[in-house]
Chains A and B, each alone.
Chain A
Amino acid sequence: MSVITKAWYLSILTMAFLVFSRGAEAQPNRLAGRGTLLKRIQAHDKNRDGKITRVEASGPLAQRFAHMDANGDGVIDQGELRQLANRIGRRRAGRDGEGVATEGKTAPDFKLKSLDGKRTVRLSSFSGTKPVALIFGSYT
Chain B
Amino acid sequence: MYRKYGGDVEFYIVYIREAHSTDERQVRANARQEISVMQPTTFGERVNVAQHMCHKLEISIPTLIDGIDNAVGTAYSSSPDRLYLIGRSGKIVYKGDRGPSGFRPAELETAIKEELAN
Contact = CB atoms under 8 A, between A and B. Distances in A.
Interface of A: 67, 94-95, 97-108, 110, 112-115, 117, 121, 123-124, 126-140
* Chain B contact surface mostly: mixed
Contacts of A123: 86
Contacts, number: 180
B14 A139 contact: no
Interface of B: 1, 5, 8-21, 23-24, 27, 30, 35, 37, 47, 49-54, 56-57, 61-67, 70-95, 98-99, 108, 112, 115-116
Contacts of B10: 126, 130-133
Residue among A97, A115, A124 with the highest chain B CB neighbour number at 10 A: A115
A133 B108 contact: yes
DSSP majority for the A interface?
loop
18 contacts: A97-B74, A101-B76, A101-B77, A106-B91, A110-B71, A114-B65, A115-B51, A123-B86, A128-B88, A131-B85, A131-B88, A131-B93, A135-B83, A136-B79, A136-B81, A139-B18, A139-B35, A140-B19
A131 B8 contact: yes
A59 to B, nearest CB: 13
Given A115-B65, A137-B81, A140-B20, A101 B75 contact: yes
Contacts of B84: 101, 107, 133-134, 136
